[in-house]
Amino acid sequence: MNTFRIATWNLDGYRSNAKSLLPRQLEVLQELLADIVVLTEVRDTTQLPGKQFWWSDPGEPPYTPRDRAVGIASSWEGRALPVRDSRLSVCVALAAPPPLGCIIVYGIIIPYAMDGVRQRVASAWERHQKAVDDVVADLCHLRSDPALREARIVLAGDFNTSLDGSNWYGHHGARIRLVDGLTSIGLTCHTLEDIRATRAADRAIVDHIWSSSDLISCEPLHIWCDRNEPGRLSDHNGVALRLVVNS
């Protein structure tokens, strides 16, 4: 097995009607046949048949103890790895079938611009910028760890920033630090397509998939849940693609 499919989707799971939408969201996810699923704004009661979950830690009020920023799901066995902010990210080393070997999956939600502003505990973009710096630092540490040097890396989740060159959403300085930091350690972003131009989508991609350069995309991006679709299941697009070992 030298290919695998990864998907990421923000389920908007903190809404009052999230429970009623979840069964249909899970149907969509199961149809993807993804080997790795990174979910954001999810609850730790969420299940996918045949997959186990690794969860970020609970947040602070107004979030409930069941609310999770991130969950990583896979049918492969794995072990959790430490991260700087365990409320916003989760990292797991998965034992994928040969020749894939060890795949480190880092799931993240980078806060939106106004996170903490209403509560007067942060200024606009403050928490976003801190999370960007934490993610880059975590990935640099993983890439420099001798015990993990041969591992392949996948980074996915809700970045709350567009990377297609349109500057549709995000913080300019944080975007530069994110891209420069991740590319400097050999990671490649697979979600640079401007889907508003190419697919007449309502919004730009802000949920991204990155990987180490030993993995390359072997199929077009699969995008679902555009804002123009009737009965939309989330306020975010979902993104999936298949990666293959770059031999």
Q: Output the DSSP codes for 205-223.
A: --EEEEEETTEEE-SPPEE
pTM for the structure as a whole: 0.96
In which element (H, E) is residue 172 found?
helix 172-184
The string of pLDDT tens digits covering residues 81-115 is 999 999 999 999 999 999 999 999 999 999 999 99
- Report the distance separating Cα 15 and Cα 38, nearest Å: 19
User: Residue 182 is encoded by which pair of tokens?
Assistant: 């991740």
CB 144 within 8 A of CB 181: no
Q: How confident is the model at residue 231 (pLDDT cuts 50, 70, 90)?
A: confident
Distances (CA, A) of 156 to 19, 31, 184: 24, 19, 18
CATH of segment(s) 3-245: 3.60.10.10
Lowest average pLDDT, out of 2-6, 9-13, 58-62, 237-241, goes to: 58-62
For residue 16, pLDDT beyond 80:
no
**What mean pLDDT comes out for the span 188-214?**
96
Q: Is the pLDDT of residue 26 over 80?
A: yes
Q: Are 94 and 76 in contact (CB under 8 A)?
A: yes
The whole-number average pLDDT for the span 185-195 is 98
Tokens of 180: 């420069």
Q: Where are the domains of the chain?
A: 3-245
Neighbouring C-alpha atoms within 13 Å toward the C-beta of 69? 26
CB neighbours (10 Å) of residue 127? 21
Tokens (6 digits) for 36:
């790795």
Note the Cα 173 to chain centre separation in Å. 21
Joined together, the tokens standing for residue 61 give 């009020």
Please report which helix (H) or strand (E) contains residue 7, including its range.
strand 3-10
